[in-house]
């Protein structure tokens, strides 16, 4: 079987995360992570079930200080969770860096007890759309070519399909979109660096970006995405995936053709046959 190309240089990602934790702005740069955690806690409060053995898969354990867990593990290719040991698994702000996202989700499902819940939160496809566009235009103008700079982030429809492929029951995907404003282009890049989210793609250029590229990108960003107050707008999309480990007590889809009433009767409209072709 042909192996898919490696997306992420995991050693480079680990270096970036280690460097980020040592930066003075690291804690402030995790504001989206805290927003995501608040959203997850609200979702859990709405679930009619008490969880007693939660596990969290994340590179940011410090923000889970007040979250009751029985296991906190990093988002390694092989997740260090015992099969069937948990009734809740949270995969937090890391799936976009996975070389095998379906494999990560399968491991989460295997770590769940029957009827256990998995919650996954990650950046969605609209995240940093402005930065991607500006860097691409700037690099093409300055160097005449393009290189991988921002990790690809899936669209919500595709991400929801990953939960089905991983074997989860009752999968749901939804998103939360936020607009973040920065005082300057360097401030945006600084925030990404402090959060450990700089370029760790395996296919990235192995040299520093030319200053002319960054200067051109800054000019394009300012011209295209400035607010009336002169700040720079950046889109952040948080996608939340929800799925349950299969269990016989869960609602099951009906067998095709087993309906006992017609849709036309339910809608109160006449039924019309489809035309040939």
Query: Three-state secondary structure along 26-65?
Result: HHHHCHHHHHHHHHHHHHHHHCCCCCCCEEEEECCHHHHC
| CA 92/CA 63 separation, integer angstroms | 11
**Tokens standing for 45?**
């409060």
- Confidence bin at 274 (pLDDT 50/70/90): low
- Confidence bin at 150 (pLDDT 50/70/90): confident
pLDDT for res 206: 86
Does 146 or 56 have the greater pLDDT score? 56
pTM for this model (two decimals): 0.86
| 182-188 average pLDDT score | 97
**pLDDT, tens digit (0-9, with 9 covering 90-100), for 187-237:** 999 999 999 999 999 999 888 889 999 999 999 999 999 999 999 999 999
User: How do 169-182 and 232-244 pair as beta strands?
Assistant: antiparallel
| CA 74/CA 98 separation, integer angstroms | 12
For the cut 60, the answer to whether the pLDDT of residue 277 exceeds it is no
10-249 CATH fold: Rossmann fold (3.40.50)
For the cut 90, the answer to whether the pLDDT of residue 60 exceeds it is yes
Locus of tokens 């400035």: 226
User: How do 232-244 and 112-123 pair as beta strands?
Assistant: antiparallel
Average pLDDT of the chain is 91
């Amino acid at each position: 079987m042909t192996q898919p190309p490696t997306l992420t240089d995991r050693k480079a990602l680990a270096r970036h995360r280690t460097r980020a934790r040592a930066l003075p702005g690291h804690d402030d740069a995790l504001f989206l992570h805290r927003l995501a955690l608040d959203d997850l806690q609200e979702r859990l409060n709405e679930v009619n079930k008490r969880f007693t053995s939660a596990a969290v898969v994340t590179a940011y354990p410090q923000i889970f200080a007040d979250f009751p867990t029985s296991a906190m593990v990093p988002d390694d290719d092989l997740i260090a969770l015992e099969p069937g040991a948990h009734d809740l698994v949270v995969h937090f702000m890391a799936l976009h860096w996975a070389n095998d996202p379906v494999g990560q989700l399968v491991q989460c499902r295997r770590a769940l007890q029957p009827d256990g819940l998995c919650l996954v939160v990650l950046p969605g496809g609209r995240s940093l759309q402005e930065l991607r566009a500006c860097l691409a235009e700037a690099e093409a103008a300055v160097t005449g070519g393009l290189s991988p700079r921002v990790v690809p982030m899936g669209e919500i429809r595709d991400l929801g399909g990953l939960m089905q492929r991983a074997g989860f029951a009752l999968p749901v995907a939804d998103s939360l979109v936020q607009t973040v404003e920065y005082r300057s282009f360097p401030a945006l890049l600084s925030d990404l660096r402090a959060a450990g989210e700089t370029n760790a793609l395996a296919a990235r250029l192995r040299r520093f970006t030319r200053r002319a590229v960054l200067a051109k990108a800054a000019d394009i960003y300012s011209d295209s995405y400035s607010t009336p107050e002169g700040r720079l707008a950046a889109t952040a999309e948080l996608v939340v995936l929800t799925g349950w480990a299969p269990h016989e007590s869960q609602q099951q889809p009906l067998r095709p053709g087993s309906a006992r009433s017609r849709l036309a009767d339910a809608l109160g409209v006449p039924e019309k046959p489809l035309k040939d072709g």
